[in-house]
Structure 1
Amino acid sequence: MSHANAALTPRARLRLARLIVDDGWPIARAAERYDVSWPTAKRWADRYAEAGEAAMLDRSSRPHRSPARTPHPQVRRIVHLRWKQRLGPVQIAGRLGMPASTVHAVLTRCRINRLSHIDRVTGEPVRRYEHDHPGAMLHIDVKKLGNVPDGGGWRYVGRVQGRTNRAATPDRPRNKYRGPLLGTAFVHTVVDDHSRVAYAEICDDETAATAVGVLHRAVNWFAARGVSIERVLTDNGSAYRSRHWSRACAELGITPKKTRPYRPQTNGKVERFHRTLADGWALGRFYASESARRKALPAWLHHYNHHRPHTATGGKPPITRLTNIPGQYT
């Protein structure tokens, strides 16, 4: 790209070159008209005569040869130590007997200068993807949370008072040690791959019937916002492997997809949303009871979708990526 003070843009270069090559203008006269030097005008005329209009674009300033560049076998050793042993530039430089600055330059060039760019399991660079429009893929999963005892849980009142509150919670079945069974809240979460808009609801189990009910309500919720669902991605839980789930997806015209076994990173968008959900809603503030926490979920979801900046959407709320919401422009 031409710099801000360039005398000639690609379009002006083309006009200059055509005056000289096609119209037969003298180089000096054409250079005077466009206020450039004689060598500059001749250079663009020669390029145009050689390669045509495509030659008017800027060429790379990279040299044809770089004798001082780190040899490829050495680069492979650096990358191997980074991937397999998670070593930093100083440690790698010590092993290979080379400057740490050179090692860092190689790691940056290979885009593995940050460990967050490397998959924890395989050591390979992280492969990120994003579908190009809302509804192309929904990520679905379940977040399990222990119910909050009356009076608050141990995270905010301490372990001693937390045990007291747990024991004093009424109308609960007891285990063999006479301790109350508070139960589990199953938060079924649905996240759109492109926009990161999220839908969630709390259920008492994660059976196939419950998962199918959540799917129907989520599809209707997204449809009310102008989004048609094409695919859903889930893990290999029993509810999502059932015929009930497959039948429901077929009725809705949705293609069901499964993650690789033992690879939660495949469904990483919803897994990351679970962490945000826990920090912002489930564990982020004091709740005096489980009912109080459940009542706070809709307000937090509205804040997440409509007001909270999201790094994956350019620092804007996820809802801004849904451009066809009914009533948005009225």
Structure 2
Amino acid sequence: MPWKECSQMTSRLEFVMLASAPGANISTLCRAFGVSRKTAYKWLALFKEHGKDGLADRSRRPTNSPNRSDAHLEAQVVALHDAHPCWGPRKLQALLPEEGPRPHPNTIGAILRRHGRQVILSSDAGPPATSRFEHEAPNLLWQMDFKGHFALTDPKAGRCYPLTVLDDHSRFAICLAACRGETAEHVKSALIDVFRQYGLPQRFTCDNGNPWGTPKQNGLTKFEVWLLRLGVRVGHSRPMHPQTQGKDERFHRTLKLELLERRGFHSLSACQYAFDDWREQYNTIRPHYALNQKPPASRYVVSARRYPEELPVLEYDQGETVRKVRGNGHITFKSHQLFVGEGLVGESVAIRPTDIDGLLSVVFCDRQVGEIDLRIAG
């Protein structure tokens, strides 16, 4: 017969009392109580040896666990978690010594829970990406953007505007600067320090906002002009398409989770000190899922293109017509006026023929900034 969970002890005691009576029919009692003969004789033996207490449920936990992690390994896992509380089991697994045991991430999670630690799901958890684009070598492309600004704890100190630059190939954090604003001068000052340390990239990609965004009439900004003078090309993501700079966006999420949400800063200098410490861990220690759980520093090398302390002199091919951009951002050629951008004021541009007769290309460095059509009256 089916019995309620709360009356198991009473039912077992009733069964063994009836089964212990002289002339009791064990088979009939088993059918009546819905138990097997094997269970019936086990209860009778337990009752005979331990009395009523022998009928209570016993723990199924094994007296020993030969596959349980040893104490030294568990201490290592807990120490790593305490040092990096935002890193999940997969990252902690990658940090364990290669010569020692490396338990499965699920086992690491069980160890942490056993020691009262909160298990953080890996920030890169989930199915692997079906496709992932990256440039084949470091310094071919750097992604640049501002992380959303935040208030400092001292109201008089204002706000912090974190500037981030990430190498596309290695995910190496080239720059994490605590800026006072989002102006071209703030960015230029931070990048000069970066260029002196890491050299020049081949190309930057950034969004369309200030200070690198395109101004009115599709001209160049002063900031873009400065980079072009250094021989660094500049590209912009399509509006409303942040995935173009997906690696830097993902870096921002990690920065927010592991640092910005966990503490406050009373000044920009305190902020920069914390940024430098966190960036060093990110680059040299923190395993990266897309890098086979290796840190970004394992794939990054400094650029061979060194930063010139003085801008190189602009040189155009012999025979090309050179014009200096006037204060209104225009040039004049054979009664034709062309706006090339306020950012080019004071710079020299070259006018060169194209494959179409009468159509001329206006170029700054190696970038076309406009066309002059002599077939149309100026």
Which bin holds the TM-score, normalised by the shorter protein? 0.3 to 0.5
Give TM-score scaled by structure 1 length.
0.47
Structure with bigger gyration radius: 2
Greater strand content: 2
Greater helix content: 1
